[in-house]
Copies of this chain bind each other. A is one copy, B any other.
Amino acid sequence: MSEPDKKEITPEEAPENGKGIRNSGNTSETGNRKTKGSIHRLLLLSVGAFQDFDLAAVYVSDAQYNRNIFFDTTPQAIRLYLLYNHWGFQILVYAFILVDLALAIFEDPAVVPLPIWVTSVIELVCLAAFTARLVHYAKVIPRERFWKDPKNICIFAIILLSLVDMIIYGALKASGFYAVRWSRVLRPLLLVNITEGRQLRRAFRSIRNALPQILYVFLLFMFSVLMFSLMALKLFGKRGLKTIEGRPYFTNYLEIVFDLYVLVTTANSPDIMMPAYNFSVYFAVFFITYILINTYIFMSVFLAVVYNNYKKYLKEEVRKLVRAKRHKMVRAFGVLQERKGEEEPVVSQACWNQLVRLVQPDISNAHRELLWSVSDDNNKGCIGKVAFVQLADLLNIQVIMMKSRPHPLKTWLPSLYLSSPSRLVCRMVQHKAFMYTYDLIILVNAVFIGLDEEDPLIANVEWAFLVLYLLEILLKLYSFEPRAFFSRHQFWNCDLSLILDIVFILRILRLIRVVDNIKRFRAIINTLIKIGPTILTFGQLIVVVYYIFAMVGMELFKGKIRFFEANSTDPDKAFCGNALLKNSVFAKHNYCKNNFNNIVSSFILLLELTVVNQCGFTAVTHISARMFFVLFHIVVVIIIINIFIAFVLEAFFVEYTVDQSNLQSSLEKKIEELELGVKQEKLDGNLVDAMETNDNDMGNSESTKEKPALMFKIACKRYKTVDGLLQRMFEADLDPENFADDEDFDPNNPSNLNFPNPNFDSV
């Protein structure tokens, strides 16, 4: 352990340090405290207790969001650390990174050209912001640790290199030389190396760890491609065949290798086969064997190997993560614990309450009490270590609280609202048939949308539909408590139909509601929504890789191909402004806009390359530029896309096989016990529907039994953070009760905690 870390309260020291300073929130507990050494502790009480609560709250919050930062435990450092974790700063950092990355739009080759001094000033501002953030971080953690962490060194190097590059570039440009802004390639690495980029770093680490295994398969695959190329050379080389473009067919070994590699991506099928096939049917056997072995079998093996290894390393990381989380919770427990006689140390409810209030200020009292009753299952008034450690996960379970209140109209105009016609309307709207009617209306509307809009009749019908939809909204507002309809933003996370009710103005999207009403579809859609946050991580991964390839591609290929507007009369238009493309398929297909002339078209082109490795424009430059495309295919298609597929597979398997985590079940059981549950059977269908039914039971006096005014429901099994889903995936392999393995877990070994900070996806 490095020197400054000694300041931290380890679980072993904690009992001495934190025993007496309990209950600043609830004085009734003081009687139980031991009096040994109380004078010394009373001196500390006024200042120390608050500081201790702060420290415990930071530990819990870190555990909740899986931050792994070894901050100093001095009060100032904690305050700085809290500031560092403030969401405002985190958003600001991402904003600056976004601006820095977006500079590529304005820099040469630019979409919107700006003078160099403008982009340079903006970049300097960004770099200053990153430096400030880095300095802030350095103040929070011990100095030795700061320089041991590769990501800090990385950011420092990126800032430094960018400055150097800017100076060199400015100087060269000023003196009229050719210059390359090579440091732009480094920009996306900021996304990876900031403290908030934990998910992204984990993804990169998993990829790096899986690489050796992938490499073996890749070598075997390349061997197969090389062998087939050799056979192709021997089979076709001397037959004097011509490609459709009139070039000799399969005569150059390296070109064959490239062509056959592209065949694996199926991009040039069947063109590459046609000359041989036209010559003799038997030659088709060669290509069929090739496709079978390399496209189908090897690509499946890639998926298998990537999947298996990625999963293996990810599991290991999640295991470490869970241990680190437990460790932090044990520390927090150590700060707050008190001993009653010879019993195990415990944390009292008052103490726990204050902690939770500090960690999550916006939590309601009812919700907090529910969590406490889950932790303190036997109503002892205090909880032990095992129950305390659950807190971080409990706070991550989204619980929906519903206050049932009467409809405002019932309060304001009870005679009118409770009259029989009004009740009839309410009952009508709450009936299933009402929903089905509107589903039908939407479907009919869909047909009209598909029809020709020019017809004035259809345009008028469109208005009629709009009136119908407005009527639906009004009727629902009349029947149901409006706040239940609008203000439950927690529902949005989980229930698509409510969002869609609001964005109904987009007529076409309304169609999704019909699908959403069907239970089977809803299960699939829910799974897709659940993996949403993780797809964001993959999105960042893709952006990092695309950005780097775009930067390199722009330097290699910019200006080689030009796009001419449709009404242009330039004779160069026929061959995209490059004579090398005369009569090429590329020009004939009018692909001229697929170029590297600016960052936007680069990104679109790279996406096309991801879909089909179409690389006709290697013709415009040296043949070795093909390496660029092969490399891109290996990195993006073979590795990243396969990992993405593996992730979707795993997420779906988890959905199919497991239902809820243990903690969720116990929370739900408690809700049931306390009879605070929203009726489950009604929630199986449409959530809005269920909500409506419940509100209806409240609103109408006919309801046989008075329900409690407050009801809870666990928000659909979604995960607030990516970590939640990951932890869920590997829960079967993680023993939640096993604290024994924490003993051999050394938090001071940096390799054990090589994953820092909060995650972007949960923001």
Verify A274–B590 contact, CB threshold 8 A: yes
- A525: CB under 8 A from chain B? yes
- A656: CB under 8 A from chain B? yes
Verify B608–A230 contact, CB threshold 8 A: no
Copies in the complex: 2
Verify A511–B271 contact, CB threshold 8 A: no
Q: Which of A598-645 contact B (CB under 8 A)?
A: 600-601, 604, 607-608, 611-612, 614, 641, 644-645
- A303: CB under 8 A from chain B? yes
A-to-B contact residues, CB < 8 Å: 216-217, 219-220, 223, 227, 230-231, 233-234, 244, 253, 266, 269-271, 273-274, 277-279, 281, 284, 288, 291, 295-297, 300-301, 303-305, 307-308, 446, 449-450, 508, 511-512, 515, 520-521, 524-525, 528, 535, 563, 566, 588-591, 593-594, 600-601, 604, 607-608, 611-612, 614, 641, 644-645, 648-649, 651-653, 656
* Candidate in A269, A600, A653 with the most chain B CB atoms within 10 angstroms: A269
15 chain-A/chain-B pairs, Cβ below 8 angstroms: A216-B521, A217-B524, A219-B521, A220-B515, A220-B525, A230-B449, A244-B588, A270-B611, A270-B612, A271-B589, A274-B594, A281-B604, A297-B528, A301-B652, A304-B651
Question: Which 3 pairs show the lowest CB-CB distances between chains A and B?
Answer: A304-B652, A300-B648, A270-B608
From the candidates B278, B281, B307, name the one contacting A600 in the complex (CB within 8 A): B281
Residues of B within 8 A of A231 (CB): 508
Q: How far is the CB of A66 from chain B (nearest CB, A)?
A: 26
Verify B591–A274 contact, CB threshold 8 A: yes
Q: Closest chain B residue to A273 by CB distance?
A: B608
Q: How far is the CB of A458 from chain B (nearest CB, A)?
A: 13
Verify B601–A281 contact, CB threshold 8 A: yes
Q: Closest chain B residue to A514 by CB distance?
A: B223
Q: Closest chain B residue to A307 by CB distance?
A: B649
A528-B293 Cα distance, complex, nearest whole Å: 10
Verify A295–B611 contact, CB threshold 8 A: yes
Residues of B within 8 A of A296 (CB): 641, 644-645
Verify B266–A520 contact, CB threshold 8 A: no
Verify A591–B220 contact, CB threshold 8 A: no
Q: Closest chain B residue to A652 by CB distance?
A: B304
Given A216-B521, A234-B508, 4 extra CB contacts under 8 A:
A227-B511, A291-B607, A295-B611, A296-B645
Verify B270–A594 contact, CB threshold 8 A: yes
Verify A216–B520 contact, CB threshold 8 A: yes
Q: How far is the CB of A759 from chain B (nearest CB, A)?
A: 22
Evaluate whether A649 and B589 lie within 8 angstroms (CB atoms) in the complex, with A266-B612, A281-B600, A450-B233 already known.
no
A341-B212 Cα distance, complex, nearest whole Å: 62
Residues of B within 8 A of A274 (CB): 589-591, 593-594
Q: How far is the CB of A19 from chain B (nearest CB, A)?
A: 48
Q: How far is the CB of A261 from chain B (nearest CB, A)?
A: 15
Residues of B within 8 A of A450 (CB): 230, 233, 253
Q: How far is the CB of A221 from chain B (nearest CB, A)?
A: 10
Q: How far is the CB of A646 from chain B (nearest CB, A)?
A: 9
Verify B648–A304 contact, CB threshold 8 A: yes
Verify B300–A649 contact, CB threshold 8 A: yes
Evaluate whether A270 and B614 lie within 8 angstroms (CB atoms) in the complex, with A278-B593, A300-B645 already known.
yes
Q: Closest chain B residue to A645 by CB distance?
A: B300
Q: How far is the CB of A186 from chain B (nearest CB, A)?
A: 26
Q: How far is the CB of A520 from chain B (nearest CB, A)?
A: 5
Q: How far is the CB of A490 from chain B (nearest CB, A)?
A: 25
Residues of B within 8 A of A511 (CB): 223, 227
From the candidates B288, B297, B308, name the one contacting A604 in the complex (CB within 8 A): B288
Q: How far is the CB of A529 from chain B (nearest CB, A)?
A: 11
A535-B644 Cα distance, complex, nearest whole Å: 26
